[in-house]
Amino acid sequence: MPYTEATIMELMRWRTIIPLNVLRYTLMDTELNGYYIPKENYVILNLWDIHHNPEYWGKDAEDFQVERFLTDDGKQVKKSEYFIPFSIGKRLCPGESFAKMEVFLYFVAIIRKFKVSLPPETKPNLEGNLGIGLAPKPHELCLTKRN
């Protein structure tokens, strides 16, 4: 099911649920990629910017494209070092494996049992409400049971 996995990955990239990572604190003067960061400062990783940066994802970084996570033949999932919805390094989300499994199971169960569509002549607002996370704005969906 590489296409399903790639779809979920693209959803997580395209609409990053936690756009700004948890605050970090510098214990000593640090230099990172040519930038000086003084001791005792807070730093934050902007996951949204990484997931929408054309340098990493191409000119179509703002577009939803499942194929960016698939090999050319579409038979395998292609990983990217810039896909980091659960952060990176020692502070990686401890629930990453569980969350990925749960999202996959829910997604497959819904798609398997229902055809998902929008009500006629409606367009959802995909911007979301920014708080601690990015929450979707309310909108209606039609779920039609599959045979």
Q: CA nearest 117: which of 147, 140, 84, 146? A: 140
Q: Say how far apart CA 139 and CA 141 lie, in whole Å.
A: 7
Q: What is the pTM of this model?
A: 0.88
In sequence order, the 6+-apart residues with CB closer than 8 A to the CB of 15 are: 126, 128, 134, 136
Tokens 């502070």 belong to residue:
91
Binding site residue list: 93
Contact 42, 25 (CB under 8 A): yes
Helices (H), the chain: 2-14, 47-51, 54-57, 96-113
What tokens does 73 get?
């033949």
Cα–Cα dist 104/92, whole Å: 20
Sign for the pseudo-dihedral over CA of 53, 56, 60, 66: negative
In sequence order, the β-bridge partners of residue 36 are 31
Positions at the binding site for heme: 93
**Going residue by residue through the chain (147 aa), what tens digit of pLDDT does each one get?**
899 999 999 999 999 999 998 888 999 999 988 999 999 999 999 999 999 999 999 999 999 999 999 999 999 999 999 999 999 888 889 999 999 999 999 999 999 999 999 999 998 888 888 888 999 999 899 999 998
